[in-house]
Structure 1
Amino acid sequence: MRRRGNICIEHEKAGQPPVLVFKYETVVDGRTLDRPANYALVRIVPPAEHPTDPVKRPIVVIDPRAGHGPGVAGSKIASEIGIALRSRHPCYFVMFFSKPCSGQTIESVTRAEAVFLEKVNELHPHAEGKPFVIGNCQGGWALMILAAVAPELFGPILLAGSPVSYWAGVEGENPMRYSGGLLGGSWLSSFASDLGNGIFDGSYLVRNFENLNPSNTLWGKQYNLYSKIDTEAERFLDFEKWWGGYFYLNKQEIEWIVQNLFVGNKLSANQVTSADGKTIVNLYNIRSPIVVFASWGDNITPPQQALNWIPDLYRSVDEIRAHEQTIIYCLHEKAGHLGIFVSAAVADREYTELITAVDLIDALPPGLYEAIIEDTKPDMPHHELIDGRYLVRFEMRTIEDILALGDGRAHERPFEVVKRVAEINQGLYDTFLSPWVQAMSNKMTAYWWRMLQPDRLQRYMCSDMNPAMWPLRAVAEIVRKQRKPVSSDNPFLELEGHVSERIMDSLNTYRDTRDAWCERIFKLIYESPWMASMVGLKGGSAQQGAPRYEDWLRNELERLKKLENESFIEQGDLLEAAVRMLLYQDRDIQVVDERPFRLAQQLIREAPADERPTLAQLKQALKRQWFILLMDEERAINALPKLLPDPDRRALALELVYRIATARTGKLEDSQQVRFRKIEEILGVSISSDQTPPLRMM
């Protein structure tokens, strides 16, 4: 604890730099922009053993600004940044400084991040695809906002443990969502900011996380440290350097976050607007594939909060496809919230597969998919096409599959009442109490208020700032040298373990009882029709997702899109024809595997330079042919001879399709056989299915 306190003080004196284990260099400092923000874009310097491939798309990681400092995404070699470097991608990191700029708002931050993305695109004009951007936790909603207002800057985006639908959850399991209602809304964050002279202390947010699991906070973390003191100390100190590095937000920032997101839940309803009201954050505008990574073990951002924005926006998969959107979700079985970012096992499995499959993700036809990651087996067909020890496949899903992950959405209705109560309380606070609190606050009172926060004070008191701790260094060294661990079967050691378990059980019982009562009190207050009537709401009324386009406008857009696609039914080259055939014979297969795509990439690289399609051309062909087949499958297939008038090109296209189609299982499945034979009949060309035919160059 003494060492932890000293490390905390040294980190503060150094300006609290990111806790990255990688070297980095600043590319753009957001504090120098026209609308300054305490953010910066840094380039991660690649290690000598993994030089950057300039052709690969850059990867940008945005860390959460939720009380802690930046760097958790690269605090270990096995991390998001580490996996990106190992895959030879140019890697950038969006960091932030401890204190916000004067007058800084969330809009200032968004504009700064847009400048960062523009710079990354400018630095990599020859990359095959635009940047793959990862938003961790609170960085995820910031990423969604930016991708909605500046979609042209992005390749695929990954939301890791990111809350987007804030009222969602499962009854009896997600108590954190009730805190806004039980505290009366957003006024308390304004009160804390006024006490801080216009600055909100991030230690409040950290304390909220700590309160979720008192058994770990009050006992488990410390017991784990001291019971494994020979091996756990350095890991503990490394983590606490980040966990105890508290950062600050402006009052305007925290108010915007709480009022618009945590309590207001406006993001998935497309109700977030710019300060001047001219820009609406419309999530329908996102053109990039969206990957959502969540975990069943996450009690801060449960899967429902990470995914329920999808049914908020779209009534069916057909609507997702009509908007030309691709959405993928990946669910981990047990990783906790922090484990999503810091677990080496998660990095080596989930992030490795998602990063290596980014080009496939970018090329997937519009729709909703679940990413399934499994161990490879030696007898898997085309094992040589699998990069690493895991195989990733994308299985088609429906909106009903998303809703089935929860227990319904009727219990979200009281949060509309919470939202209205919060607005009333905020108005009362701003009018009657805030002026008095601001009048009593100044830089000196704000400084001492922050210094006396329990979490921060604990670190100072257990450091060399306290003279009573000075003898501990010498004493600890003596104990360390003379310590004799007892044997594993020592009865007192066993008794210690049993006592620790009982303490943990008692604290868990307290937590469960507390959470159950919080939920009951919340329901008693906000499910009451009396409360709804008092704030001007009818019983049962609730926000019903995002506002949708008028039917006539949606129908007109669909009509124009249909006309555009119809013009391409009888037009195209070898690429368009091969993609159409491949999608057609896979129509009954609800799985997209990485092996066919890897083989397709290999075949493209082997093609003559003048006929070699780019990733952008492949992506466009996949989307266009997917819509053409959805629109009129029979006409599309019968038009293939017009796309391939040359018999040699027809045979070549068939060979390409056959090879790619059999890369997953080693043979054509029954439904594929039927469709493949129909293509052969239409083209008047047949190839042998007894063995893979030799492929002629394109």
Structure 2
Amino acid sequence: MDVLRRRGNQFIDHYRAGKPPVLVFEYELVIDGASLERPCNYMLLRIKPEPGEKTDPTKRPYVVFDPRAGHGPGIGGSKEKSQVGVALKAGHPVYFVAFRPKPVPGQTLRDIALAEKIFLDKVIELHPDAEAKPAIVGNCQAGWAIMILSALAPEQASVISIAGSPLSYWAGKEGKDPMRYFGGLMGGNWLAAFSSDLGGGIFDGANLVSNFEFLNPANAIIGKPYNLYSKVDTEAERYLDFERWWSGHFLLTRDEIVELTSELFIGNKLTRGHIVSRDGTPVDLREIRAPIVVIASEGDNITPPPQALNWILDLYDDVDEIRANEQTIIYTVNRSVGHLGIFVSGRVAVKEHAEFVSSIELVETLPAGLFEMIIEEVEPEGGVMPGAPSYVARFEARTLDDIRAYDDGRDDEKPFEVVAHMSEVNEGLYETFVSPWLRPFFNEGLAEFQRFLHPQRQRYFWWSDINPFMAGIEVAATAIREKREEAGAENIYRRTENVMVRSAETFLERLTTQRDLMLEQFFKGVWTNPLLSAFAGEAASFADSRKPHASRRKEIEELRDLKLAAIAKRCEQGSFRQAIMRVIYAAIRETGKVDARGFAAAQEIWKSHPRFSEISRAELKAEAKEAALMVSYDIDKALDSLPMLLTSRQEREEAVALLRRIAEWRPDVAPEVKDLMVRVENILGTSEANGHGRIVPRSAKPVAAVPRAPKSGSVATRKPTLRSRH
């Protein structure tokens, strides 16, 4: 009871202080969004390093965007082991995009997008000597926002990471993922407008918090309180730290919540190309040029993996299209952590987020395509977060079938088309016949009084010192602490208590499962009704939903042919570095994977070579991208033309020696790499001269030292294709 009393007092103190970000790091204001030409309540903060630590101004800066979904900012940096913490420990300058409790009157999502673009421009301006453009991280709804921003301004970021972001909101498994049904059960988007009108043109974020708790009442009513009660000697501070953020309810304008629910949650318009910028430019995620890292979890019932990943299926028909568009998409799926844990959990911070930070140079230079980031625990080596477990990431090539495996098919998304159409009809009826009569009755004073009476706030007030009945709790708790003797884990009463509580929690979980199934069946019963489908226009012979998915196949193929022609002209031109990079990317393609430790070792080897140290990082990155492109389109031609790049015997032997050092950094060389090295030596004619030191192929038979003839189906015998082994 005393911890709950302290929680209530903390809630009041946080409110009186203006609800500042819950960051545990010191920070300073860089840009206040209220001062911009189109003002908003967003602001750019610079995170200060811990005393005695410094950030390296030449390292790429990190910019973390927190979600604005009812709570306040700071959860991405609310503890040392966090998204902010791992980037700061690695020596990167870190910035944080936060927001104030109340929006600027009239602000829209497009105003916020413009402000965020200005923020990124400022970060780039502050770090002219940085090795790369900023890496940007977006959590939940903020990930959706930065994807739009990156599509409209693709030159602003070097790498993008989105965590728990619902880019394809209709997706999910039947019998699971009930939150996607809520909009349809309420009849669409009109309810968001109605709630805002009751709030005097302001939407209360406490309503969204209630929705989250409604999703898992067993945890909200039993699990979370009992975890505190049963561990009250050690759990109090962690509980209070989290509650400081959870109890900070923030507000949105009517335009913001209506646009957010219409464009994202109910309309699901981003991947269908139905969102346009202020100047009318359609938002196309295929315009993003920076590598995209998607972090999802199978334990997330708010943004399950299909919602986080199915946008890839919406945009592309196969991996060849991803390659032809020169886009690199990486995903990693945690097996158990919940939605908030994706950007709150310390375990995720020292695993997924830390590996993202430590592997970012590898991420940036991966060839175009689809990869899964697999993270494995290894022997401790210090790592980004000292004292934390050490991990190493490897990246394995994947196909779209691997993405489809996280879903159970997409037929269950069809009713959402009807919901989206009828939502627009219902909202139009509400805006025409109800809203004009309702708005005059709700002024700011009445709206503020309603927000004060919201149950989410009242539960904090009643457990605080404002309630006179709590007066003796602190005294009693202090007296108990002084003579407290904790019952052991084997205590019969404690064990009985635990069994009873867990049984009640399990019972409530089963009721929740039955409730979710009932809601799903009700949703389907309503929105698969032929009458509603006809009213929504879905039953028409030439309805848009009946037309095939808009594909860029022809455009992609034309682009591919143009690139192939350009590559064919450049394939026999290049430097010593280009030759090395072609072989490295050929090894990645042949094995279908690359690990961060191997890349770091290879990087150290080639960086020490004088031919690599004489150029800038940007030039090296450009040459690496060129080599990856050539190998992606035609690996045979890219390798067979190596003698054109390495014209002298000395250069060829020097190149082979360097490649051997890179390949042999670890004893368990992959068989594909061994065979590739033999092939390269044969192409360059160095196998006989260096036979004593070369890698032995799987076959014991000698390989003639002659250039490899084009194999059947290669660029010499047929039209080039984007198809690859993996």
Partner of 2:348: 346
Segments of structure 1 that go 5 or more residues without pairing to the other structure are 380-386, 694-698
Aligned-partner SS, 2:194: helix
Q: Given the alignment, which residue of 181, 184, 198 partners 1:181?
A: 184
* 8 Å contact from structure 2 (residues 101, 251) kept in 1: yes
Partner of 1:308: 310
Q: How far apart in 1 are the matches of 2:57 and 2:242?
A: 33
Q: How far apart in 2 are the matches of 1:503 and 1:621?
A: 62
Tell me the alpha carbon deviations over residues 400-425 of structure 1, each in whole angstroms, 9 at most, x when there is no partner. 11011110111111100110111111
Aligned-partner SS, 2:675: helix
Aligned-partner SS, 2:155: helix
Partner of 1:432: 433
CA RMSD in angstroms comes to: 2.1
Q: How far apart in 2 are the matches of 1:510 and 1:425?
A: 32
Q: How far apart in 2 are the matches of 1:325 and 1:550?
A: 15
Tell me the alpha carbon deviations over residues 582-625 of structure 1, each in whole angstroms, 9 at most, x when there is no partner. 22344321111223321232134323388534333333223322
Structure 1, 108-117 or 506-515: larger mean CA deviation? 506-515
* 8 Å contact from structure 2 (residues 317, 551) kept in 1: no
Structure 1, 590-599 or 347-356: larger mean CA deviation? 590-599
* 8 Å contact from structure 1 (residues 313, 546) kept in 2: no
Q: How far apart in 2 are the matches of 1:595 and 1:584?
A: 18
- 1:498 shift after superposition: 1.8
Partner of 2:716: none
Q: How far apart in 1 are the matches of 2:311 and 2:393?
A: 24
Task: Read off the aligned partner of 2:538 and give its amino acid letter.
Answer: L
Partner of 1:459: 460
- 1:668 shift after superposition: 4.0
Tell me the alpha carbon deviations over residues 280-332 of structure 1, each in whole angstroms, 9 at most, x when there is no partner. 11111100000000001111100000000000000000000010000000010
Q: Given the alignment, which residue of 154, 157, 160 partners 2:160?
A: 157
- 1:369 shift after superposition: 0.2
- Check if 1:47 corresponds to 2:43: no
Q: Given the alignment, which residue of 311, 331, 334 partners 1:332?
A: 334
* 8 Å contact from structure 1 (residues 155, 289) kept in 2: yes
Aligned-partner SS, 2:296: strand
- Check if 1:655 corresponds to 2:657: yes
* 1:223-372 alignment runs, 5 A limit: 223-276=226-279, 278-372=280-374
- 1:477 shift after superposition: 2.0
Structure 1, 84-93 or 669-678: larger mean CA deviation? 669-678
Tell me the alpha carbon deviations over residues 478-509 of structure 1, each in whole angstroms, 9 at most, x when there is no partner. 23323333343333222211221121122112
Partner of 1:677: 678
- 1:39 shift after superposition: 0.8
Task: Read off the aligned partner of 1:512 and give its amino acid letter.
Answer: T
Distance 1:494 1:669, change over 3 A: closer
Partner of 2:530: 529
* 8 Å contact from structure 1 (residues 364, 619) kept in 2: no
Distance 1:267 1:546, change over 3 A: farther
Q: How far apart in 2 are the matches of 1:441 and 1:316?
A: 52
What is the TM-score when the length of structure 2 is the normalising length? 0.91
* 1:134-213 alignment runs, 5 A limit: 134-213=137-216
* 1:589-668 alignment runs, 5 A limit: 589-608=591-610, 611-663=613-665, 665-666=666-667, 668=669
- Check if 1:493 corresponds to 2:494: yes
Tell me the alpha carbon deviations over residues 216-240 of structure 1, each in whole angstroms, 9 at most, x when there is no partner. 1111111111111111111111111
- 1:473 shift after superposition: 2.3
Q: How far apart in 2 are the matches of 1:505 and 1:617?
A: 59
* 8 Å contact from structure 1 (residues 268, 545) kept in 2: no
Q: How far apart in 1 are the matches of 2:670 and 2:106?
A: 62
Q: How far apart in 2 are the matches of 1:444 and 1:585?
A: 67
Segments of structure 2 that go 5 or more residues without pairing to the other structure are 382-387, 696-726
Q: How far apart in 2 are the matches of 1:545 and 1:23?
A: 52
Aligned-partner SS, 2:31: strand
Distance 1:327 1:160, change over 3 A: same
Q: How far apart in 1 are the matches of 2:686 and 2:553?
A: 48
Task: Read off the aligned partner of 1:124 and give its amino acid letter.
Answer: H
Task: Read off the aligned partner of 1:19 and give its amino acid letter.
Answer: V
* 8 Å contact from structure 1 (residues 312, 544) kept in 2: no
Q: How far apart in 1 are the matches of 2:538 and 2:182?
A: 21
Partner of 2:700: none
Q: How far apart in 1 are the matches of 2:682 and 2:587?
A: 14
Q: Given the alignment, which residue of 582, 585, 589 partners 1:583?
A: 585
- 1:77 shift after superposition: 0.6
- 1:550 shift after superposition: 7.1
* 8 Å contact from structure 2 (residues 321, 556) kept in 1: no
Identity among equivalent positions (%) equals 47
* 8 Å contact from structure 1 (residues 270, 546) kept in 2: no
- Check if 1:18 corresponds to 2:21: yes
Partner of 1:102: 105
Aligned-partner SS, 2:276: coil
- Check if 1:221 corresponds to 2:196: no
Q: How far apart in 2 are the matches of 1:193 and 1:543?
A: 35
Task: Read off the aligned partner of 1:641 and give its amino acid letter.
Answer: P
* 8 Å contact from structure 2 (residues 605, 662) kept in 1: no
* 8 Å contact from structure 1 (residues 136, 161) kept in 2: yes
Task: Read off the aligned partner of 1:80 and give its amino acid letter.
Answer: Q
* 8 Å contact from structure 1 (residues 202, 249) kept in 2: yes
Aligned-partner SS, 2:660: helix
Tell me the alpha carbon deviations over residues 145-195 of structure 1, each in whole angstroms, 9 at most, x when there is no partner. 100001110011000111100000000110000001001011111111001
Task: Read off the aligned partner of 1:679 and give its amino acid letter.
Answer: V
Distance 1:443 1:403, change over 3 A: same
- 1:69 shift after superposition: 0.4
Task: Read off the aligned partner of 1:324 and give its amino acid letter.
Answer: E
Distance 1:378 1:455, change over 3 A: closer
* 8 Å contact from structure 1 (residues 311, 545) kept in 2: no
Partner of 1:410: 411
Partner of 1:399: 400
Partner of 1:383: none
Partner of 1:122: 125
Distance 1:45 1:377, change over 3 A: closer
Task: Read off the aligned partner of 2:327 and give its amino acid letter.
Answer: Q
Structure 1, 480-489 or 345-354: larger mean CA deviation? 480-489
- 1:468 shift after superposition: 2.4
* 8 Å contact from structure 2 (residues 20, 100) kept in 1: yes
Distance 1:544 1:318, change over 3 A: farther
Distance 1:600 1:188, change over 3 A: same
* 8 Å contact from structure 1 (residues 60, 131) kept in 2: yes
* 8 Å contact from structure 2 (residues 418, 532) kept in 1: yes
Tell me the alpha carbon deviations over residues 87-107 of structure 1, each in whole angstroms, 9 at most, x when there is no partner. 111111111111111211000
Partner of 2:64: 61
* 8 Å contact from structure 2 (residues 168, 308) kept in 1: yes
**Number of residue pairs aligned between Structure 1 and Structure 2:** 683
